[in-house]
């Protein structure tokens, strides 16, 4: 709220007019600005405005729906691309798992044969001793290497299976999301 009040104790002489920064202001008036606190303003009710004065027009609704449809199409396209990529990775991981199982099985078979040979030779331990002959030493080395190989390939196989389970979960989540987006797009296209 702005009001003009006359100045008190004006000491200017009438011969010298006061210079005004704003030429529209004339006379001996001072502009005072009054600021109201929010608590004071809250005491005076204000008129509430209705949310919608005018109904939205059909062209605006169509334009909004067109933008939403375009956004949904782009999102569906990105999700489909991601789903295809994950399916390809899943098939590669499944092939790798088959190969890992085959290699692990080969190592395990070799370990079993080596252990059977050790039993035939009457070995009681796989630890190297000073009195072992060359063939016994080679057999013990072979058993140790096969044990490590089986452990390594089993670990690799478990990691690949966990990776496959993770990819399957991601594929399920994206497929569910994609189905929902397709339904939204279908509903939105009916309004167009």
The rounded distance, in Å, linking the Cα atoms of 181 and 112 is 54
State pLDDT tens for residues 26-35. 555 555 565 5
State pLDDT tens for residues 149-159. 999 999 999 99
The rounded distance, in Å, linking the Cα atoms of 80 and 151 is 38
pTM for the model: 0.58
Whether the per-residue pLDDT at 181 is higher than 60: the answer is: yes
Whole-number average pLDDT of the chain = 80
**According to DSSP H, which parts of the chain are helical?**
38-41, 58-120, 134-191
Q: In degrees to the nearest 10, what's the CA dihedral of 176, 181, 186, 189?
A: 180
DSSP 73: H
3 state SS of 103? helix
Note the pLDDT of residue 99: 95
The rounded distance, in Å, linking the Cα atoms of 47 and 39 is 17
């Amino acid at each position: 709220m702005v009001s003009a009040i006359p100045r008190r104790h004006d000491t200017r002489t009438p011969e010298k007019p006061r210079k005004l920064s704003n030429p529209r202001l004339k006379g001996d008036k001072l502009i005072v600005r009054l600021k109201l606190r929010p608590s004071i303003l809250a005491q005076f009710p204000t008129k509430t405005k209705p949310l919608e004065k005018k109904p939205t027009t059909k062209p605006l609704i169509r334009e909004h729906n067109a933008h939403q449809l375009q956004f949904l199409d782009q999102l569906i396209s990105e999700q489909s691309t991601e789903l295809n990529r994950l399916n390809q990775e899943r098939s590669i991981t499944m092939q790798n798992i088959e190969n890992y199982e085959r290699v692990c099985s080969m190592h395990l078979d070799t370990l079993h044969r080596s252990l059977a040979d050790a039993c035939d030779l009457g070995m009681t331990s796989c630890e190297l001793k000073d009195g072992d002959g060359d063939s016994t030493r080679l057999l013990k080395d072979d058993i140790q290497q096969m044990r490590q190989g089986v452990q390594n390939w089993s670990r690799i196989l478990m990691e690949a299976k966990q990776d496959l389970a993770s990819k399957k979960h991601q594929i399920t989540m994206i497929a569910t999301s994609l189905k929902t987006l397709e339904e939204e797009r279908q509903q939105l296209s009916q309004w167009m």
